[in-house]
Amino acid sequence: MPRIPTDRLALPKVAVVGLGSWGTAIASLAAPHVGEVWGWDYLADVVEGVNRDHRNPSYATGCVLPDNVHATSEISEAVAGADAVLVATPSAFLRSTCRRFADVLDLDTPVLVLAKGIERETGLLVYQVAADELGREERVALISGPNHSEEIVRGLPAATVCGAASDEIVEVFRSILGSERFRIYGSRDRVGVGACGALKNVVAIACGIACGMGLGDNTVAVLMTRGLAEMTRIAYALGAEPITCMGLAGMGDLVTTCISPHSRNRSFGQAFVAGETLAGYEARTSMVVEGYRAAASAHDLASRLGVEAPLMESVYRVLYEDSPLDREVAELLSREPRTEFYGIVDEAVADAADSLEEP
């Protein structure tokens, strides 16, 4: 059982694995509440900049990090002896990164996964991938919400939801990261939090494509709400609580990702319409487009689970099969409208009725 800290020095050392824009923002949130923050990154200039100038020269460059934030290029140095580990690497590198420090991590140390995605090869959510490498799944939590790092480092108000197996784990990470400006809500539905965090990025790409095609605000609103329905159907089929998708991890994160100029998934969708490739976009921005990978995972999951997800299927075909945009738009518009929450409400009600009938 993890210790719930009661003062700043109750957790002498917290590790942040990955000092990209999100990892840097997380380090800045944690620093006032713990003894020391040790960040790991593979880029030598990032490590040097944090240690020498208290700034990340590549990401969140305007953020001045407190003196108790340190960086290292040795992942074992960052993690060894840590009272909590926060993993901020992109989902595509999550498994390999966790494998690198699994041997030096104490089995009682709580772990918070900050990535958003679904591993295509296994269909596992990010917290499950981390637990697969680190062991003790019950100590692995994850967060998701409208949390753009560009605003977090400026101290603008934000909130997130921490999916964890116990209230005690939520309290550990609330004590490390929570404040009046960064509110942390708790949830036992790790499946819902993880599924929403990954799938909303696919919808954001669709919204970016719509903007790039000049289809208007009404279209974007339709894509967001129908996308939310698809997210909920897939999450529910995975075993999530449908209500999770209406909260910070679902609707909250979806709104921000689909409308914000900071959203790499939305902006990639716009760039894609203009003819830019994924490789070109990621090289230009030094950002990973999580939604591109999530589109393939969503396609696989929807097929395996027998869930209708026409919007996400269209995004998949455009990105992976070079399907023309005009053809996909026409296909979506020609679908026969159904009841708004088909595949969610009826099944949820049936499940509730079945549970009432059980002795």
pLDDT tens string for the chain (359 positions)? 555 454 544 699 999 999 999 999 999 999 999 999 999 999 999 999 999 999 999 887 888 999 999 999 999 999 999 999 999 999 999 999 999 999 999 999 999 999 999 999 999 999 999 999 999 999 999 999 999 998 999 999 999 999 999 999 999 999 999 999 999 999 999 999 999 999 999 999 999 999 999 999 999 999 999 999 999 999 999 999 999 999 999 999 999 999 998 899 999 999 999 999 999 999 999 888 999 999 999 999 999 999 999 999 999 999 999 999 999 999 998 888 878 777 776 555 455 445 545 55
* pLDDT computed for residue 169 by the predictor: 96
Instruction: Examine the domain organization and report whether 197 and 332 are in the same domain.
Output: yes
Q: How far apart are CA 75 and CA 238, in angstroms?
A: 33
Total-model pTM: 0.90
Q: Which CATH number do you get for residue 305?
A: 1.10.1040.10
Residue of 70, 116, 174, 200 with catalytic role: 200
Assigned domain for 329 exists: yes
Q: Helix, strand, coil shares of the chain as percentages rounded to 5?
A: 55, 10, 35
Domain boundary among 173, 188, 203: 188
Q: What gap in Å lies between CA 159 and CA 166, rounded to an integer?
A: 19
Q: What is the pLDDT of residues 150-187, one digit of tens each?
A: 899 999 999 999 999 999 999 999 999 999 999 999 99
| pLDDT computed for residue 356 by the predictor | 47
CA nearest to 41, candidates 87, 75, 91, 84: 75
Is residue 230 domain-shared with residue 339, that is, in the same domain? Answer: yes
- Cβ–Cβ under 8 Å, residues 109 and 138: no
Q: What is the pLDDT of residue 288?
A: 87
Number of other CB atoms surrounding residue 168 within 10 Å: 14
Q: Is the residue at 198 inside a domain?
A: yes
Q: Do 227 and 279 fall into the same domain?
A: yes
Last residue of a domain, one of 156, 188, 220: 188
The burial class, CB within 10 Å (0-12 / 13-18 / 19+), for 72 is middle
Whether 358 maps to a domain, the answer reads no
Do 214 and 176 lie in one domain? The reply is no
Domain end among 188, 216, 238 = 188
Q: What whole-number distance in Å separates Cα of residue 229 and Cα of residue 141?
A: 25
One domain for residues 173 and 209: no
> Residue 357's pLDDT is what?
53
d(CA 263, CA 276): 16
Residues 125, 56 share a domain: yes
CATH code of residue 41: 3.40.50.720
- Crossing angle of helices 217-238 and 190-212, rounded to 10°: 150
Total tally of structural domains belonging to the chain: 2
Residue 354 has a pLDDT of: 52
Separation of alpha carbons 150 and 17, rounded Å: 19
Percent of the chain with pLDDT over 70: 93
Q: Could you list the residue range(s) of the whole structural domain that residue 109 is in?
A: 9-188
Is 245 found in the same domain as 340?
A: yes
Same domain, 60 and 144: yes
First to last CA, the chain: 33
Q: Cα–Cα distances in Å, from 125 out to 144, 179, 182, 192?
A: 13, 27, 24, 10
Q: Is 2 a member of any domain?
A: no
User: What's the confidence (pLDDT) of residue 272?
Assistant: 96
Residues 74, 97, single domain; the answer is: yes
Same domain, 127 and 219: no
Residue 357 lies in a domain: no
**Does the annotation mark 200 as catalytic?**
yes
DSSP 252: I
pLDDT (0 to 100) of residue 6: 47
135 with 96, same domain? yes
Q: Is 1 domain-assigned? A: no
In a domain, 355, yes or no: no
Domain assignment of residue 359, yes or no: no
275-329 per-position pLDDT tens digit? 999 999 999 998 889 999 999 999 999 999 999 999 999 999 999 999 999 999 9
| Residues 86 and 131 occupy one common structural domain | yes
